[in-house]
Amino acid sequence: MIFWLSCMTFLFSNPQAPDAVLKRVDWDAVQVARCIDNYMTGTATGNRDQIRKAFLPNAGLQFIRDGKPTRFPVEDYVAFFKEGVATGRTGRLVSADITGTAAMVKVEIHTKKRRFTDYLVLLKVGDDWKIAEKIAFSVSKGDQ
């Protein structure tokens, strides 16, 4: 919930937009924040259903492993998390850009040993925003 509130503060910080645009963007910002909250809270608490709720069924996770592009389907990513086991992950929303039915969100996640930067591509399906693809980079905290 705290993460969700910080998302809302970040996303509503554009007082320059015209009212009609702001209302539409505000509603989309709320939905994007809910999606990101499902992702962040689900991965922090080991709630697999909540993680799934954030992603499209055909979504995936991409990153570089041993110098080569690697992609896992979302279900393989969800399987990394033990159901109901908290991971100790903490995170923050760095940036969000919403245009029509597409959005790009950058989040930073910290674990005891690593710092992750995720670029999340979201699509609006009906009234819901879902992560279509997750691009990840991580560095050992000892290498920072």
CATH number at residue 122: 3.10.450.50
Q: What gap in Å lies between CA 37 and CA 95, rounded to an integer?
A: 14
Q: What gap in Å lies between CA 26 and CA 77, rounded to an integer?
A: 30
69-116 tens-digit pLDDT: 999 999 999 999 999 999 999 999 999 999 999 999 999 999 999 999
Q: How many structural domains comprise the chain?
A: 1
* % of the chain beyond a pLDDT of 70: 81
Strand-pair partners of 79: none
Mean pLDDT of the residues in the chain: 87
In terms of residue numbers, what domain contains 43? 2-143
> Which pLDDT score, from 0 to 100, does residue 141 have?
84
Q: Answer yes or no: is pLDDT of 134 > 60.
A: yes
